[in-house]
Amino acid sequence: MLLLLLAFEWNLDWKHLGPPASWASERYCVRKIDGAGGHSSDFGLLGVPWCKSKIPVEWSKSELLFGLYDFLPVYATRPVQHNQWGTRLDHSFGLWFLARRLQPEIIIESGVHRGHSTWILRQAMPNASIITLSPEHPRSHESEGPFYVDAKAFYFTEENFTDFASMDWDQVLGDVVRHRFRVDKAKVLVFFDDHQSHLKRVQQAQQAGFKHLVFDDNYDTGSGDEYSLRQICDQLTTGGGHSCSLSSREAEVRSQRKRAWERAVDMTELCSMSGAWWGIRGEMRDNFDKIKVPISHQDHIENYKLVQSMLQIYWEVPPLASPSLSYQRAYDPARTVGPLLGEDEREVYNRLGLDKLDEWEFSEYIQMAYARLK
């Protein structure tokens, strides 16, 4: 009955979940602002940077919503209930949905922490081979509370840890995982939650022959600790589209939003002293902020062109709910695509039991991205 009601309440014809076509021309314009309240109309107010897809994704908004209906009872049984420093509700759902939709035979996870995302992947794909890479084993987090170790997964951790770039993937997939059966790299999903530059990860994944990539921390321009796909795809126009002038309309809007949203980025965070706005104040960050390389705007454009030439699909998981429902105050909707459940959908939100969850669960949305390489 609930499924039927949901089917009527949601527009089942909404096929393409990229930004609406109307945004394309106003991606970097500042639209009219009526406060910073987190209403559905706030979404995309400051433009949404977006790598271009050659083809649309194969799933619809209604499929995501039905997926959410199936996912929430699974999520309720997670062993790591409070996944500090890892994926929370929005990204856990995005990862689970993508894994189920893509049906990979092998999943590579780079960045494991306490094992929550490994658990999510296992719930989505009970029979897939999972390979996890991380300097530490989840059990090393025992003192922080529950952790998850997957009995069937291959762990490359601690003394066996090898970075994704240095793995001999043909050997590992062919000999270790598949016991010499042929591996179809198009049936491998790679999940990166390791805070390494997305530019290098995309290049390394392509070199290894992988096609399906999911990136957890897809930070907005001016924020984060790695050069993200979103930062790479933020604008192409020569000289940049962000005005670094403190007297600009964008500066005014950003400082207004900074007061309302914890992770909103104002001009002082976005721009360097010399007016560079790309990456993080003109720097390409890597490895949890340990590496900071200043790049020119031309370098940034070249990176954009390179990534665009490699991508077939770029898709950002939408946030689950409008902040007017979830009350989260961390990410700023002005820089994100519209939510799955808008402010008028409180009844559905409550019926799904989302109103019972702590707002903390909704506060780690960082534009998780699915990138399909050509």
Q: Does 163 bind ligand SAM (CB under 6 A)?
A: yes
* Of 25-33, 41-49, 52-60, 190-198: span binding ligand SAM (CB under 6 A): 190-198
Q: Does 220 bind ligand SAM (CB under 6 A)?
A: no
Q: Does 368 bind ligand SAM (CB under 6 A)?
A: no
* Of 97-105, 109-117, 251-259, 348-356: span binding ligand SAM (CB under 6 A): 109-117
Q: Which residue is nearest to ligand SAM (CB)?
A: 86
Q: Does 83 bind ligand SAM (CB under 6 A)?
A: yes
- Interacting residue with ligand SAM among 60, 117, 322, 367 (CB under 6 A): 117
Q: Does 86 bind ligand SAM (CB under 6 A)?
A: yes
- Interacting residue with ligand SAM among 110, 197, 303, 336 (CB under 6 A): 110
Give the 3-state DSSP-derived string for the chain, with helices as H, strands as E and coil as C: CHHHHHHHHCCCCCCCCCCCHHHHCCCCCCCCCCCCCCCHHHCCCCCCCCCCCCCCCCCCHHHHHHHHHHHHHHHCCCCCCCCCCCCCHHHHHHHHHHHHHHCCCEEEEECCCCCHHHHHHHHHCCCCEEEEEECCCHHHHHHHCCCCCCCCCEEEEHHHCCCHHHCCHHHHHHHHHCCCCCCCHHHEEEEECCCCCHHHHHHHHHHHCCCEEEECCCCCCCCCCCCCHHHHCCCCCCCCCCCCCCCCHHHHHHHHHHCCCCCCCCHHHHCCCCCCCCCECCEEEECCCCEEEECCHHHHHHHHHHHHHHEEEEEECCCCECHHHHCCCCCCHHHCCCCCECHHHHHHHHHCCHHHCCHHHHCCCCCCEEEEEC
Neighbours of 116 (CB within 10 A): 27
Q: Does 113 bind ligand SAM (CB under 6 A)?
A: yes
Q: Does 269 bind ligand SAM (CB under 6 A)?
A: no
- Interacting residue with ligand SAM among 51, 64, 90, 193 (CB under 6 A): 193
Q: Does 104 bind ligand SAM (CB under 6 A)?
A: no
* Of 47-55, 114-122, 232-240, 293-301: span binding ligand SAM (CB under 6 A): 114-122
- Interacting residue with ligand SAM among 18, 111, 224, 282 (CB under 6 A): 111
Site for ligand SAM in 31-50 (CB under 6 A): none
**How many chain residues interact with ligand SAM (CB under 6 A)?**
19
What would the x/- binding string for ligand SAM be over residues 122 to 161, using CB under 6 A? -----------xxxx-------------------------
Nearer to ligand SAM, 110 or 243 (CB): 110
Binding site for ligand SAM (CB under 6 A): 83, 85-87, 110-114, 116-117, 133-136, 163, 193-194, 196
